[in-house]
Structure 1
């Protein structure tokens, strides 16, 4: 009987190890392979909400192009030639979305005198990539897009980046670690540290409360995708950005707490501005108050001497009042 105990113990250890590994793969899968929204669903949603101005979009010239990423795949991009200018804004969407979601900002920037580039982030839409990494690998894709757009528009044109949620976190991580070929960033509801963001969502949405759960996930993400969660941290690099930043969030955001945006602003108070909107769930500041959002963007561009009010500019709120 005694001879059987080592065998039983070995089996029990193997079963326990296999269970732990299975749990680690399951939890890390939720991070690396987060479920994405269907592009047709995004299109229909934006049309129904009257945020995607289809008639305007179809009336302006567009150019589809691909950019090769150092990560080993092509990034799918589209340039919207909305104005007679070289000034351009690159818009980076959030996790689970595609470039279709970015188009809600297109008419805004067109009114302010900018052409627009939208693109699909890694593993979203038509862009390659096996996993989602919340800015760790995505910042390299954005770097490639910025370099190509700068080549297209020349060194004298103004080039901005607007990012929403993961797109904002990507923009800040790119801006803080690369040559700054851009002239400004608008960071809408970014997380400050991805570890803290995961912890917040675990406490909010699951029975898991211990920070050791994050360390457990981190081990499997590092083993499977080659990076540590602590390396996905805009707040560690935001102070390296020398160009103006507009930080935007809404006080009703429970997905990425507004305190994270405030902390990022506190790390970069010089040459930046923080706008806290009263209304709006996560990434919905523009959806809830589009006219006020546009006013804040315009004020930022003018106050920081980035660009000026176009001669033909009319705030859309005033246009509606005269109709």
Structure 2
């Protein structure tokens, strides 16, 4: 009996250790510093940081419903209420959004860049890969609507986790305040993405590790991985969506975007980039990316051809 109790105790301890370790990796994923992001973006040919410093812009602070502040900038260079909101990916911050900012400024739109919870200048203790971030995005959309007097159009561009956040917002929030979305390399389901990364990075099976981690995610973070699923809400999205992914993405497979595109009803478009790894479609295919965005906006009558 003593051996049985010791074995049960050892198993219980192992389960707790696994749950804490894996949920730590997910909830408290290591973030890149400003210096890391600036160096990477500059090395990739995005010379945007000095011009951003010199631009006329307004900083803002928006209270999140979850008890922290969301911080960002409103870049208003054009005499128009039309605004694009840019959502960065996990481990990044709004500095990573600046390359996309210029794309939309060149199209005559004003731009909002901001930091997700637990990233950059914003508050928040954990990362939720869109579960809580979608509600923060709702607050940002409302801020833009109030800023513009509910005039003009609003678009949302998201990269990676930011793309998943945009789709979750569009599908989960009945008000659906934006007029269109651009989702660049989103995952379809977070639980599937975790299982894929476990296999690729650690050569580990998803069961029972993912089930254990999921329990601790709920316990410590308030959500389960399976609850973070753009695929589960994609059929609710009525507004137009441009889906973007590079065919060589080995971090989030292109099949994730293809599944989302196939299931999305109504107006939509798909651009599969020939070059680039994860979240590098714009960097490696700038002209084609710009063309895809412009043609999409013309197709949905946002821009005049």
1:273 maps to 269
Tell me the distance in 1 between the aligned counterparts of 2:101 and 2:292: 16
Which of 180, 185, 195 does residue 181 from structure 2 map onto?
185
2:288 maps to 292
Q: Deviations over 1:149-193 (max 9, x none)?
A: 111013221110000000000000011111111110000000000
Which of 118, 123, 132 does residue 127 from structure 2 map onto?
132
Post-superposition offset of 1:269: 4.3
Consecutive aligned runs of 4 or more in structure 1 exceeding 3 Å deviation:
8-12
Residues 18 and 209 in structure 2, CA contact (< 8 A), matched pair in contact too: no
* Stretch moving more, 32-41 or 207-216: 207-216
* Stretch moving more, 143-152 or 43-52: 43-52
TM-score scaled by structure 1? Answer: 0.91
Tell me the distance in 1 between the aligned counterparts of 2:61 and 2:126: 19
Residue aligned with 1:28, SS:
helix
1:13 maps to 8
Tell me the distance in 2 between the aligned counterparts of 1:197 and 1:210: 10
1:148 maps to 143
Residues 187 and 248 in structure 1, CA contact (< 8 A), matched pair in contact too: yes
Post-superposition offset of 1:55: 4.3
Tell me the distance in 2 between the aligned counterparts of 1:276 and 1:48: 24
Residues 198 and 206 in structure 2, CA contact (< 8 A), matched pair in contact too: no
1:87 maps to 82
| Structure with bigger gyration radius | 1
Residue aligned with 2:118, SS:
coil
Q: Deviations over 1:81-101 (max 9, x none)?
A: 122211110000000000000
Tell me the distance in 2 between the aligned counterparts of 1:145 and 1:69: 9
Post-superposition offset of 1:54: 3.3
Q: Which runs of 5+ in 2 are unaligned?
A: none
The question of 1:305 aligning with 2:298 is answered no
Aligned residues: 304
Tell me the distance in 1 between the aligned counterparts of 2:226 and 2:7: 33
2:100 maps to 105
Q: Which runs of 5+ in 1 are unaligned?
A: 310-323
TM-score scaled by structure 2? Answer: 0.96
